[in-house]
Structure 1
Amino acid sequence: ITRAKLEALVSDLLEKLEGPCEVALKDAGLSPDKVKEVILVGGMTRMPAVQERVKKIFGKEPDKGVNPDEVVALGAAIQGGVLKGDVNDVLLLDVTPLSLGIETLGGVMTKLIEKNTTIPTNKSQVFSTAEDNQPAVTVHVLQGEREIASGNKTLGRFELVGIPSAPRGMPQIEVTFDIDANGIVNVSAKDLATGKEQSIRITASSGLSQGEIDRLVKEAEVHAEEDRNKKELVDARNAADALIYTTEKSMNELGDKVESSTRAEVEDAVNSLKGAMENEDTAEIRRLTEGLSQASHKLAASMYEQASQAGAQQGGGGPEGAWQHQQGSSGSDEDVVDADYREVG
């Protein structure tokens, strides 16, 4: 067989060399000209076509000063020695090949552990319910780089039940990802109010092959703009839904205390925003959300004005005293994220 024939037979494999190199450069935050030296490792790097492709990618001649077969065997021997405990002066670090997270409101993936995080590692984040009186949540564990949950690989699902009845956004569900040195992933969800907890264990065999990892990374790059637009739409809808919920709740609580003109203005803004949410115009949803926000400010102004008048009639301290009381009794909810969980039962 001639060299030309061989190179023609493996041309598709040669094309695949560029992808992993480009990903490595991107993850490292480097451009090819910032790489000082490229070392060829593995028997197939003896092939001139491979060496030429590496030169094309990095813009420099690769280093051929090591035996490409021996270094692979040597690396395996060192790893074996480290795992057995015979080698103590070498630190080998492993990383997560893809990001890990869960599906949240609107079908998006919320990442808890980013790609290339050194393991072992542990990360927790607090989420909440998406509906009033939601009794249970389903935790959908994902692996991948897509913004949209459906574009990633499902690693597992589990349910946390027995959540006490409460308004949406009030329950606090702490989700924890724990990856040990062997790459085994433990995911748990704990209701911070009741202490109830459920978890799932994902072994290394549940992961992906290198080919599947490369495919998912490439798909994330190809669909990056599409996913970004979808996520922006989901975020806009979530923000609008949250504002509608709090506004309608405030109007119901205030009842007849709201002037009819103010109520009509707010109701019109709510209805317009609800209509926009059924479409996919992100800019229009954001515009109407801002409009409802401005209209809802009148509700707050009306509420505080009435509270101030009532305080003055009773000889009370007025708004400053009320603010101090609220300030002292309020809790922080900066880490709470609305999550789209499926109800059970």
Structure 2
Amino acid sequence: MAKVAINLSTGALQQEEVIVGIDLGTTNSLVAYIHPEDRTPIAINDQGQGTIVPSVVHFTQTGETIVGTAAKDYLTTDPANTIYSVKRLLGKSYNDLGGHQDYFGYKVIDDNSEGLVKVRVQDKFYSPIELSAEILKELRERAEHALKTPVNRAVITVPAYFNDSQRQATRDAGKLAGLEVLRIVNEPTAAALAYGIGLDPEEEKTVAVYDLGGGTFDISILSIHQGIFEVLSTNGDTYLGGDDFDRAIINHWIQNNELIADTVNQDKHLSQELRLKAEEAKKTLSSQQVYAGTIDGKIDCHLERHTFETLIAPIVARTIESCRMAMADAKLQPEQIAAVIMVGGSTRVPMVYEAVSTFFGKQANNSLNPDEVVALGAAIQADILAGNRKDILLLDVTPLTLGIETMGGLMDSIIPRNSKVPTKAGRQYTTSIDGQVNMKISVYQGERDLVKENRKLAEFDLKGIPAMPAGFPKVDVNFILNADGILKVEAIELRSGTRQEVEVKPQYGLTDAQVEQMLLDSITHAREDVSTRMVIEARTTAEQMIYQVERFVEKNREHLTPDEIALTTANVQRLKEVLGTGDKDTILKAVDILEEQTSPFAERIMQISIKQAMAGKKIE
């Protein structure tokens, strides 16, 4: 007997499982799906809460997790335990933050390495993947509640400039939230799809997607040819957005009311009031010429549109300069752009719309809700993957993820499942031991986090790496999968040019049933796999820290006091003791203590080394 699913919210027969489209944003996120009857994309508004879910996660003192609008209220009252803008941290090391770590009101851990950042909340350590998973879980639950059906599969969007590490981190977050991520789609591509661009395989055009959100801005130039989207260029600023408009208004009011900026910043209640008023003024001035308001009847919050436009003119000019640079990189003139698409809530500001339309010499397209357009496009992509749009040709895709083994027996994905064929992807690795001259590259296929649960395809040694300290060699591992399904894996040590490659046939005789079983296992064991991965990663971080600190003390003993040596030895011993606990947070806390304790004298010894190196040398 065949099972027939019924969508209880619409009463319609459901022939297929719902695949949702998710816009995981820096400031706000949302989820959309294709209505089963009229086949139009709809942003999900669960219980009238609105389609937008603020990308904010709050941890209560009792360990409870609050996500979305309710969590936003804690941004000023409990900033240390309220995480925002986590998308900025995805797939990044502390060094990648480039001095922007003070932007965050919570503790971002500096482990003095190239490892991915951790966020400390009370005595627990969270990766950006875990935090993003909390937002995705909330979106998934809202979708399930609104549609009255399980939601297990999704398409998630990312900025066009996201690198491989950031894309993989987004996939991992989806997995941890209980979602099989069928495809990672560029946000500008999703926006174009929402406007119907690229759905006709005969269509050939070049479009610009101008995306100004709450905290980030980017401009992407896309070439669409036979249904294939190619990013010709991208530009922008990951620390520029509508929040800067609000800040300009607040500074104007502080000046006009002769307030002291430092006093306002210290008064959390007043600063929150000003921020909310500024946001209200910005929205009002999109449709009216004057905004009038006060705080407690004392602080005048009057603002006229022309004053507002004067305040934000330098910010808007920065975005137009980015457009100019993106066009130069794509080697195009504005008249060669067929359409300009507006994305992000901040594009509702009339001055922004006018500036973009003027620059490109044509009216920008903003007929769809700019907050929802990316999620709507993701839902269309999901519908294509579900096979519901017969007019669209889907290119061949990889049936299972391809990757290599890294420290601790973990699987590091290089080409995720469902990637279009042909494709090429790569990652950079380094050595973990001083003087290491060989590196074993083991290639695996499968969806599990541990390689022992996946299928081994090939193995080879990259020999002849120059003997250097751990972390110095740079080894690029590239996977090239051609249209015939032949996989070539190459490893290159960049400093010496040492190269090795192997060719494998990726069909490996797997039956459809075996592929399905591997996928099913990956979903069934998702939480357990991610938990195991995090413990292994914590152990690896700890082992590297012990190795580095012990070498450092041995080499610089004469510059350290007996007390510093004794305390360092004790903290190293403590870290060695907790390694076997299998508790991620306990291990990372011990790493954090050792890092904080050794940082001051590590800096001091670096200064001594610099002075010694400079002694007697003439500076030209």
Q: Same fold (TM over 0.5)?
A: yes
Q: CA deviation at 1:192?
A: 1.8
Q: Which of residues 12, 18, 25 in structure 1 aligns to 2:19?
A: 25
Task: Provide the aligned C-alpha RMSD in A.
Answer: 3.4
Whole-Å Cα distance in 2 between the matches of residues 179 and 309 of structure 1?
51
Contact 1:142/1:154, CA 8 A, preserved across alignment: yes
Higher share of residues assigned helix: 1
Q: Residue 517 of structure 2: SS of its match in structure 1?
A: helix
1:62-141 equivalences under 5 Å are: 93-141=395-443
Aligned 8 A contact 2:402 2:443 in 1: yes
Task: Tell me if structure 2 keeps the 8 A contact 1:262–1:298.
Answer: no
Q: Aligned residue for 1:225?
A: 527
Which residue does the alignment assign to 1:299? 601
CA displacement 1:105-139 (0-9 Å, x = unmatched): 11111111112111111112111122222221211
Question: Whose RCO is larger (CA < 8 A, sep 6+)?
Answer: 1
Question: 2:214 is matched with which residue?
Answer: none
Cα offset, 1:248, TM superposition: 2.0
Alignment equivalent of 1:188, drawn from 474, 490, 495? 490
8 Å contact kept, 2:20–2:33: no
Map 1:5-24 onto structure 2 (within 5 A).
7=1, 22=17
Q: What residue in structure 1 maps to residue 175 of structure 2?
A: none
Per the TM alignment, residue 262 of structure 1 is displaced from its structure 2 partner at its CA by 0.9
The answer to whether the aligner puts 1:213 opposite 2:518 as a matched pair is no
Higher strand proportion (structure 1 or 2):
2
1:70-111 C-alpha deviation (Å, 9 max, x unpaired): xxxxxxxxxxxxxxxxxxx99551111111110101111111
Q: Supply the distance in 2 between the matched residues of 1:101 and 1:309 (Cα, whole angstroms).
A: 45
Cα distance per residue 1:300-328 (max 9 Å; x no partner): 244257569989xx8999xxx9xxxxxxx
- Give the TM-score of the pair, scaled to structure 1: 0.64
Decide whether aligned partners of structure 1 residues 247 and 210 sit closer, same or farther in structure 2, where only a CA change above 3 A counts: same
Contact 1:125 1:175 in 2 (8 A): yes
Counterpart in the other structure of 1:50:
none
- Report % sequence identity: 29
Partners of 2:409 and 2:450 within 8 A in 1: yes
Counterpart residue identity of residue 124, structure 1: G
Give the drift of 1:171: 1.6
The Cα shift of 1:226 comes to 0.8
Larger radius of gyration: 1
Q: 1:212 to 1:254 in 2, by over 3 A?
A: same
User: AA paired with 1:197?
Assistant: R
Match of 1:169 in 2: 471
Q: Secondary structure at the match of 1:95?
A: coil
Deviation at 1:156, TM superposition (A): 1.4
8 A contact 2:414–2:427 mirrored in 1: yes
Please give the alpha-carbon distance, in whole angstroms, between the structure 1 residues aligned to 2:610 and 2:543.
30
Q: Secondary structure at the match of 2:462?
A: strand
Q: Hey, what's the Cα distance between the residues in 2 that align with 1:189 and 1:315?
A: 43
CA–CA separation in structure 2 for the residues paired with 1:28 and 1:234: 30
TM-score, L = length of structure 2: 0.37
Task: Could you list the structure 1 runs, at least 4 aligned residues long, displaced by more than 6 angstroms after superposition.
Answer: 26-33, 307-311, 314-317
Q: What SS is found at the alignment partner of 2:428?
A: strand
Residue segments in structure 1 that go unaligned for 5+ positions in a row: 1-6, 16-20, 39-55, 59-88, 322-345
Gaps spanning 5+ residues in structure 2: where?
A: 5-15, 24-30, 40-147, 151-390
Q: Distance in 1 between matches of 2:503 and 2:21?
A: 28
Q: How far apart, in 2, do the equivalents of 1:234 and 1:98 lie?
A: 23
Q: Deviations over 1:138-166 (max 9, x none)?
A: 11111111111111111111122222222
CA offset at residue 223 of structure 1?
Answer: 0.6
Measured after TM superposition, the shift of residue 196 of structure 1 is 2.3
Please give the secondary structure, in 1, of the residue aligned with 2:556. Answer: helix
Give the count of matched residue pairs: 254
Partner secondary structure for residue 175 of structure 1? strand
